[in-house]
Amino acid sequence: MRFIVKVSSESFIKSRPVRNWHLDRLKRNVAKVLRVIDKKVQVRGHSDRLEIDCEEAAASACLQRLGDVPGIHSILTVDSAFLPSENTLEFLAEKAVDYYADTIEGKSFVVRCRRVGKHAFGSLDVERHVGAVLFQASKNSQVKLKYPDVTVSIEILRDKAYFVRDKKLGLGGYPIGTQGTVLSLISGGFDSSVASYQMMRRGCRVDYLFFNLGGPAHSLGAQQAALYLWQKFGYSHSARFYSVSLDALVANLMQRSSPSLNGVLLKRAMMRVGDVIANKSKVSALVTGESLAQVSSQTLINLSVIDKAADKLVIRPLIATDKSDIMQTAETIGSAVFARNMVEYCGVISKKPTVAASLPELEEAEQAMGDAWFYQALDSVEKVSVADIINHVNEQPQVELETEVSDQLVIDIRAVEVSLEQSDLHIPFYQLNKKFPSLDQDKNYLLYCDKGVMSQLHAAYLHELGFDNVKVYRPVQ
């Protein structure tokens, strides 16, 4: 099977050296992603496009993965042929009849030709000749230049013709690796996940920084979100996941007699720690999912004083985006199902938070708290490759693992039910938290998922709610 991948319009309008660099970077990204599916896949670069050959059996999976690779404008499924030296228009018309005559039967159609190179004919000549032959060869069809039912697309690149069988739009943006590396403050919720995706779509390699305010379940949820985003959109490059404990800071904030500044103080603390990690890992900028005025800490005044805690550039790709649009994007990219199951931990935020914190007041409060919390936070930093999250979670489980089933009931929590011989119940993970309390609590349960991350996450969360009759099922492979 052959695909033609066209680079995004934003890359195409760059100068030739930059365009060539983007195309080469995209070629390497695509090759790395597709070779997981088809080890023999071939990826070749030509001008403004990539030409990809893969096994027929892998075509559907390859097409789906290409749709998640940043930097791609469109993916064309094509048949190709070398142009003969003579009777070229007749050759193109004959091929078009073979490919499209049945498709346009009883429908309106138009022929469009895009041509690169020197030929004895023009694009308009191809459109006219092929259109006339197709009209004669098909039944009850009609030519319609505007808004036809079918567009017959023929692309000619020098001595080769490509007959487009299908077209799928890509993500657009820039190839990952062309715009540097950023450190995204991720919570696992809607906003931070979408912000991370937006930065990958703009060509950035994304590392993840998580501040643990809610225990094991919170950490596992953030790791699951980072893993999903990396596997889907950022797989062409390595990524790191940093986890930081702010227990000492939270203890200080909870003892303050005037808590109205706590939300801003917490965000400034995150920026301060993130700045150090970004410098050590040579990252260009920090990224947050903040949107203007969405919560009290996100007013213009508060965002301004928050930024002053870091020397690094702070990027907020969602700054002017409505919450409903953010949630819709999360649904589109698939992160919403994880975000809906994340618990918000806002215990340090006061009931009457300030919307206009002053920098002198914040600095006075920070001086009173001292720096002990800061050094404890830096000492707590844990780093793991996102690719190793699954192994890391299963090597250091938060909830006891069982490799065999005795008198427990196995709950398959995968989103789609797939045959599992030992399964007693199928409750998708996004329904588990609501449905589990209604189960017979005199029985013991084992949660199962493919990788072990989601089962660990939900078992840990159920433990926090007081359900101690839950473990994780990890059968011996």
Per the prediction, the chain carries an average pLDDT of 91
Domain boundary among 357, 389, 421: 389
Rounded to 5°, angle at Cα 276 from 271 and 281: 120
Same domain, 68 and 96: yes
Mark whether 138 and 268 lie in a shared domain. Answer: no
Number of domains in the chain: 3
* Residue listed under structure tokens 């931990």: 345
- Please tell me whether residues 131 and 185 are part of one structural domain: no
In tens, the pLDDT along 259-275 reads: 899 999 999 999 999 99
Q: How many residues does the chain have?
A: 477
Judgement on whether residues 144 and 195 belong to the same structural domain of the protein? no
Same structural domain, 77 and 127? yes
Residue that has been written with the tokens 């892998």 in this structure? 58
Q: Is 356 in the same domain as 289?
A: yes
What distances in angstroms separate CA 405 from CA 36, 120, 328, 422, 463, one per listed residue? 33, 73, 40, 8, 20
Residue 361: CB atoms within 10 A of its CB come to 15
pLDDT at 308: 97
pLDDT in tens, 283-310: 999 999 999 999 999 999 999 999 999 9
- Which residues lie across from 306 on neighbouring strands? none
3-class secondary-structure state, position 123: helix
Residues marked as catalytic: 449
Spatial separation of the C-alpha atoms in residues 440 and 30, rounded to whole Å: 49
- Same domain membership, residue 161 and residue 203: no
- Residue-wise DSSP of 105-147: TTSEEEEEEEEES--SS-HHHHHHHHHHHHHHHSSS-EE-SSS
What's the CATH number where 72 sits?
Answer: 3.30.2130.30
Q: Could you give the percent of the chain with pLDDT greater than 90?
A: 71
Domain CATH for 196: 3.40.50.620
pLDDT at 345 over 60: no
CA distance 398 to 402: 13
Of 140, 172, 204, the last residue of a domain is: 172
Same domain, 264 and 118: no
CB within 8 Å of 168: residues ≥ 6 apart: 63, 66, 67, 74, 75, 77
pLDDT grade for 349, boundaries at 50, 70 and 90 = low
Query: Which pLDDT value is given to residue 406?
Result: 82
* 430-475 confidence digits (pLDDT tens): 788 788 999 999 999 999 987 777 788 788 778 877 898 999 988 8
The reply to whether 192 and 267 lie within a common domain is yes
CATH of the domain at 411: 3.40.250.10
122-131, 224-233, 403-412, range with the lowest pLDDT: 403-412
DSSP secondary structure string, 26-46? HHHHHHHHHTTT-TT-EEEEE
On whether both 148 and 191 belong to a single domain, the answer is: no
- H or E element at residue 217: helix 215-233
- Type of residue at 108: S
Q: Indicate the helix (H) or strand (E) that contains 389.
A: helix 389-395
Domain boundary among 172, 195, 218: 172
Q: Is 177 left (phi over 0), alpha (psi -120 to 50) or beta?
A: left
What is residue 8's predicted lDDT score, i.e. its pLDDT?
93
**For residues 413-438, average pLDDT:** 79
Q: State which residues form the domain around 418.
A: 397-473
Half-sphere exposure of 198 (CA within 13 A, CB side): 20
What backbone phi and psi angles, to 5 degrees, belong to 15?
-60, 160
Q: Which two tokens stand for residue 261?
A: 């500044």
The owner of tokens 């040579």 is 282
> Do 203 and 133 belong together in one domain?
no
In angstroms, the CA 233 to CA 237 distance is 10
Q: Is the pLDDT of residue 72 over 60?
A: yes
Q: For residues 100 and 134, what is the distance between their CA atoms, to the nearest angstrom?
A: 8
Same domain, yes or no: 202 and 333: yes
